[in-house]
Amino acid sequence: MLVSTSFLSCENPAKDLKILNETDTDFIHVDVMDGIFVPGRTMPFKEVKKIYKYTSKRLDVHLMVEEPSKLIKKFANLNCEFISIHVESENVENNLKLIKKYAIKSGIAINPETEVKELVPYLPLVDMILVMSVTPGQGGQTFIPKTKNKLKEIAKLLDEYKSKAIISVDGGITDETKKNCPQASILVSGSYIVKSSNFQERINSLR
Protein backbone atom coordinates (compact mmCIF):
# COMPACT_ATOMS: atom_id res chain seq x y z
CA MET A 1 0.00 0.00 0.00
CA LEU A 2 1.32 3.44 -0.93
CA VAL A 3 0.86 6.29 1.54
CA SER A 4 0.43 9.93 0.59
CA THR A 5 0.66 12.28 3.57
CA SER A 6 -1.47 15.43 3.55
CA PHE A 7 0.02 18.38 5.38
CA LEU A 8 -3.21 20.42 5.35
CA SER A 9 -3.62 20.03 9.12
CA CYS A 10 0.01 20.79 10.04
CA GLU A 11 0.45 23.75 12.36
CA ASN A 12 4.00 24.26 11.15
CA PRO A 13 4.17 22.87 7.59
CA ALA A 14 7.86 23.65 7.07
CA LYS A 15 8.86 21.81 10.25
CA ASP A 16 6.56 18.86 9.59
CA LEU A 17 7.67 18.54 5.98
CA LYS A 18 11.26 18.19 7.20
CA ILE A 19 10.17 15.39 9.55
CA LEU A 20 8.13 13.73 6.78
CA ASN A 21 11.16 13.83 4.56
CA GLU A 22 12.85 11.40 6.97
CA THR A 23 9.91 8.97 6.82
CA ASP A 24 9.16 6.59 3.96
CA THR A 25 5.90 8.28 2.97
CA ASP A 26 5.58 7.74 -0.78
CA PHE A 27 4.14 11.16 -1.59
CA ILE A 28 3.28 14.51 -0.05
CA HIS A 29 -0.39 15.23 -0.74
CA VAL A 30 -0.81 18.93 -1.45
CA ASP A 31 -4.39 20.14 -0.93
CA VAL A 32 -5.22 23.32 -2.81
CA MET A 33 -8.51 25.15 -2.13
CA ASP A 34 -9.70 28.35 -3.78
CA GLY A 35 -12.53 29.41 -1.44
CA ILE A 36 -15.01 28.97 -4.35
CA PHE A 37 -15.10 25.27 -5.21
CA VAL A 38 -14.88 24.58 -1.48
CA PRO A 39 -15.42 27.12 1.31
CA GLY A 40 -11.87 26.77 2.65
CA ARG A 41 -8.86 28.48 1.19
CA THR A 42 -5.25 27.24 1.35
CA MET A 43 -1.96 29.12 1.11
CA PRO A 44 -1.22 30.74 -2.26
CA PHE A 45 1.08 28.98 -4.72
CA LYS A 46 3.92 31.39 -3.81
CA GLU A 47 3.89 30.00 -0.25
CA VAL A 48 3.60 26.37 -1.36
CA LYS A 49 6.65 26.92 -3.54
CA LYS A 50 8.62 28.26 -0.56
CA ILE A 51 7.85 25.36 1.76
CA TYR A 52 8.24 22.83 -1.05
CA LYS A 53 12.01 23.24 -0.76
CA TYR A 54 11.83 21.32 2.56
CA THR A 55 10.87 18.09 0.85
CA SER A 56 12.50 15.86 -1.71
CA LYS A 57 9.36 13.69 -1.90
CA ARG A 58 7.23 13.63 -5.00
CA LEU A 59 4.02 15.62 -4.79
CA ASP A 60 0.46 14.34 -5.13
CA VAL A 61 -1.39 17.58 -5.86
CA HIS A 62 -5.15 17.72 -5.22
CA LEU A 63 -6.77 20.78 -6.80
CA MET A 64 -10.08 21.59 -5.10
CA VAL A 65 -10.61 24.62 -7.30
CA GLU A 66 -13.20 25.67 -9.84
CA GLU A 67 -10.80 26.49 -12.66
CA PRO A 68 -7.59 24.46 -12.35
CA SER A 69 -5.68 25.32 -15.57
CA LYS A 70 -3.49 28.15 -14.17
CA LEU A 71 -2.51 26.06 -11.18
CA ILE A 72 -1.74 23.03 -13.34
CA LYS A 73 0.77 25.16 -15.24
CA LYS A 74 2.37 26.38 -12.00
CA PHE A 75 2.54 23.00 -10.27
CA ALA A 76 3.92 21.38 -13.41
CA ASN A 77 7.27 23.03 -12.55
CA LEU A 78 7.47 21.24 -9.22
CA ASN A 79 8.27 17.57 -8.59
CA CYS A 80 4.76 16.19 -9.19
CA GLU A 81 3.88 12.52 -9.51
CA PHE A 82 0.14 13.26 -9.78
CA ILE A 83 -2.08 16.26 -10.31
CA SER A 84 -5.77 15.62 -9.63
CA ILE A 85 -8.69 17.79 -10.60
CA HIS A 86 -12.33 17.29 -9.62
CA VAL A 87 -14.91 15.74 -11.94
CA GLU A 88 -17.20 18.51 -10.61
CA SER A 89 -14.85 21.30 -11.78
CA GLU A 90 -14.82 23.14 -15.13
CA ASN A 91 -13.21 22.06 -18.43
CA VAL A 92 -12.32 18.63 -17.08
CA GLU A 93 -11.28 17.10 -20.40
CA ASN A 94 -8.99 19.98 -21.40
CA ASN A 95 -7.41 20.10 -17.97
CA LEU A 96 -6.70 16.37 -17.93
CA LYS A 97 -5.05 16.75 -21.33
CA LEU A 98 -3.02 19.67 -20.00
CA ILE A 99 -1.72 17.56 -17.08
CA LYS A 100 -0.76 14.81 -19.54
CA LYS A 101 1.00 17.36 -21.75
CA TYR A 102 3.43 17.96 -18.89
CA ALA A 103 4.02 14.18 -18.61
CA ILE A 104 2.51 14.14 -15.11
CA LYS A 105 0.08 11.42 -14.05
CA SER A 106 -3.49 12.66 -14.08
CA GLY A 107 -6.03 12.08 -11.37
CA ILE A 108 -9.74 12.72 -11.22
CA ALA A 109 -11.28 13.34 -7.81
CA ILE A 110 -14.90 12.52 -7.06
CA ASN A 111 -16.96 13.96 -4.20
CA PRO A 112 -19.02 11.71 -1.90
CA GLU A 113 -22.32 12.91 -3.41
CA THR A 114 -21.29 12.58 -7.07
CA GLU A 115 -22.42 9.52 -9.00
CA VAL A 116 -19.76 7.16 -10.23
CA LYS A 117 -21.08 7.24 -13.82
CA GLU A 118 -19.85 10.88 -14.08
CA LEU A 119 -16.33 9.46 -14.36
CA VAL A 120 -17.01 7.46 -17.52
CA PRO A 121 -16.21 10.09 -20.21
CA TYR A 122 -12.80 10.76 -18.64
CA LEU A 123 -11.58 7.22 -18.02
CA PRO A 124 -9.33 7.11 -21.11
CA LEU A 125 -7.51 10.22 -19.81
CA VAL A 126 -6.89 9.29 -16.17
CA ASP A 127 -4.20 7.38 -14.28
CA MET A 128 -5.85 7.66 -10.88
CA ILE A 129 -9.30 8.02 -9.35
CA LEU A 130 -9.12 10.05 -6.14
CA VAL A 131 -12.15 8.94 -4.15
CA MET A 132 -13.18 11.50 -1.54
CA SER A 133 -14.21 9.78 1.68
CA VAL A 134 -15.13 13.13 3.29
CA THR A 135 -16.70 16.29 1.87
CA PRO A 136 -13.67 18.25 0.68
CA GLY A 137 -12.86 21.48 2.46
CA GLN A 138 -10.94 20.63 5.59
CA GLY A 139 -8.77 18.03 7.29
CA GLY A 140 -9.68 16.03 10.38
CA GLN A 141 -13.16 14.89 9.31
CA THR A 142 -14.69 11.44 9.84
CA PHE A 143 -14.56 8.81 7.07
CA ILE A 144 -17.97 8.49 5.38
CA PRO A 145 -19.01 4.78 5.66
CA LYS A 146 -20.82 4.62 2.31
CA THR A 147 -17.40 5.10 0.63
CA LYS A 148 -17.03 1.35 1.06
CA ASN A 149 -19.77 0.66 -1.52
CA LYS A 150 -18.63 3.46 -3.77
CA LEU A 151 -15.18 1.88 -3.97
CA LYS A 152 -16.74 -1.40 -5.06
CA GLU A 153 -18.74 0.43 -7.73
CA ILE A 154 -15.66 2.27 -9.00
CA ALA A 155 -13.56 -0.91 -9.14
CA LYS A 156 -16.36 -2.55 -11.16
CA LEU A 157 -16.54 0.43 -13.52
CA LEU A 158 -12.77 0.40 -14.11
CA ASP A 159 -12.96 -3.27 -14.87
CA GLU A 160 -15.90 -2.81 -17.23
CA TYR A 161 -14.14 -0.05 -19.18
CA LYS A 162 -10.78 -1.85 -19.08
CA SER A 163 -9.20 1.14 -17.36
CA LYS A 164 -5.81 0.73 -15.69
CA ALA A 165 -6.40 3.72 -13.40
CA ILE A 166 -5.46 3.13 -9.78
CA ILE A 167 -7.65 4.09 -6.83
CA SER A 168 -6.61 6.50 -4.10
CA VAL A 169 -8.84 7.28 -1.10
CA ASP A 170 -8.72 10.66 0.63
CA GLY A 171 -10.29 11.79 3.92
CA GLY A 172 -10.54 10.42 7.45
CA ILE A 173 -8.09 7.59 6.79
CA THR A 174 -6.77 5.78 9.89
CA ASP A 175 -5.60 2.24 10.67
CA GLU A 176 -9.29 1.46 11.36
CA THR A 177 -11.00 3.10 8.35
CA LYS A 178 -8.42 1.73 5.88
CA LYS A 179 -10.18 -1.62 6.29
CA ASN A 180 -13.00 -0.20 4.15
CA CYS A 181 -10.65 0.41 1.23
CA PRO A 182 -9.29 -2.91 -0.10
CA GLN A 183 -9.52 -1.57 -3.68
CA ALA A 184 -7.08 1.30 -2.94
CA SER A 185 -3.49 1.42 -4.15
CA ILE A 186 -2.87 4.73 -2.33
CA LEU A 187 -4.21 5.96 1.00
CA VAL A 188 -4.11 9.71 1.58
CA SER A 189 -3.92 10.55 5.26
CA GLY A 190 -3.49 13.87 7.04
CA SER A 191 -4.36 14.34 10.69
CA TYR A 192 -3.93 10.66 11.62
CA ILE A 193 -0.25 11.06 10.69
CA VAL A 194 0.64 14.69 11.33
CA LYS A 195 -1.23 15.06 14.62
CA SER A 196 0.72 12.15 16.11
CA SER A 197 4.09 12.17 17.84
CA ASN A 198 5.53 9.48 15.56
CA PHE A 199 4.77 9.98 11.87
CA GLN A 200 6.62 6.84 10.75
CA GLU A 201 4.70 4.59 13.13
CA ARG A 202 1.39 5.88 11.77
CA ILE A 203 2.57 5.46 8.17
CA ASN A 204 3.60 1.86 8.97
CA SER A 205 0.13 1.15 10.37
CA LEU A 206 -1.45 2.22 7.05
CA ARG A 207 0.67 -0.02 4.83
Instruction: Please list the active-site residues.
Output: 31, 170
- Shortest CB 206 distance to ligand DX5, Å: 10
9 binds, among Zn ion, ligand DX5, none (CB under 5 to 8 A by kind): ligand DX5
- C-alpha span between 173 and 9 (Å, rounded): 13
36: enclosing H helix or E strand: none
- Piece in contact with Zn ion (CB under 5 A), picked from 15-23, 57-65, 75-83, 94-102: 57-65
Residue 5 or 180 having the CB closest to Zn ion? 5
CB neighbours of 65 closer than 8 A, spacing ≥ 6? Answer: 32, 33, 34, 36, 37, 71, 89
Site for ligand DX5 in 40-79 (CB under 6 A): 62
Does position 172 interact with ligand DX5 (CB under 6 A)? The reply is yes
Distance CA 113, CA 111 (A): 6
Among 13, 26, 29, 166, binds ligand DX5 (CB under 6 A): 29
Would you state the torsion angle of the CA atoms of residues 192, 60, 136, 40, taken in this order, to the nearest 10 degrees? 100
Within residues 115-144, the interface with ligand DX5 by CB under 6 A covers 134, 136-141
